[in-house]
A = this chain, B = another copy of it.
Amino acid sequence: MNRVGRGPRDVREVRIRTGVQRDPAGSVEVTFGQTVVIVAATVGASVPPWLQGKSQGWVTAEYAMLPGATPERQGRVQKGRSEEIQRLVGRSLRAAVDLKALGERLVTVDCDVLQADGGTRCASITGGWVALAMACRRLMDRGLLAASPIRHQVCALSAAIVDGEVLVDPDYSEDHRAQADLNFVMTADGRLVEVQGTAEGDPFPEDLLRVALARVREALPGVLEAQRRALQEGRFP
């Protein structure tokens, strides 16, 4: 195993820097090892057509890679995979808020991958939650909301099954030769918002799903802590 200096249960270094863009209500740069994602949460007035007049809000996400984020340059239009990821990010962040309490507002969370080394969707969700929380705090600071509509702290971690071993937070080279990829979106109290497990090679036994979930659960507190610290130190421009 070539995960230099870390055991199978170790997450890469997680850093969340706030305020990297001046204009969005919430803005972070989130780093998991060599993976870097810029996330912006913007608050807009218009909810999607099917919600109009229902006095509730909506959270949506967009996900894209900068062309230089990977060893081979990628074109700007990367539909299939991006669509799927941004739907996952959107669902995960909606689970974090009370949409009624948000009021008739649309929060758009833009995730732009600056550097891709595995785990970009989990980084997007983890950073996205901080950006979303910043945006909600700004609404409160401006007197537009009396209480925060955030009801859960949400973050995400992946795992890979490589040579029969479960590795938490795999980087690209580990991901690449994995038998299975798993992504877990969870709340701070350990409940599941989303589980996704995909066999890349052979189908995998239920046991390994259980092991992966256990190890991710163990590693979660560090990620949750990084989110909380970012919000406290938050340099809000």
Q: A139 to chain B: which residues have CB within 8 Å? A: none
Say if the beta carbon of A152 comes within 8 Å of chain B: yes
Interface size class of A (residues with CB under 8 A): 35 or more
Say if the beta carbon of A56 comes within 8 Å of chain B: no
Q: A40 to chain B: which residues have CB within 8 Å? A: 66-68, 73
Stoichiometry, as copies per complex, reads 6
Least Cβ distance of A188 to chain B in Å? 10
Say if the beta carbon of A76 comes within 8 Å of chain B: yes
Q: A8-16, A109-117, A122-130, A223-231: which lies at the B interface?
A: A109-117
Say if the beta carbon of A222 comes within 8 Å of chain B: no
Cβ of A71 and Cβ of B112 under 8 Å apart? no
Give the residue name and chain of the B residue nearest to A41 (CB).
B68
Say if the beta carbon of A187 comes within 8 Å of chain B: yes
Say if the beta carbon of A55 comes within 8 Å of chain B: no
CA distance A66 to B114 in the complex (A): 11
Residues 65-118 of A at the B interface (beta carbon under 8 Å) = 66-71, 73, 76, 79-81, 83-84, 87, 91, 95, 108, 110, 112, 114-115
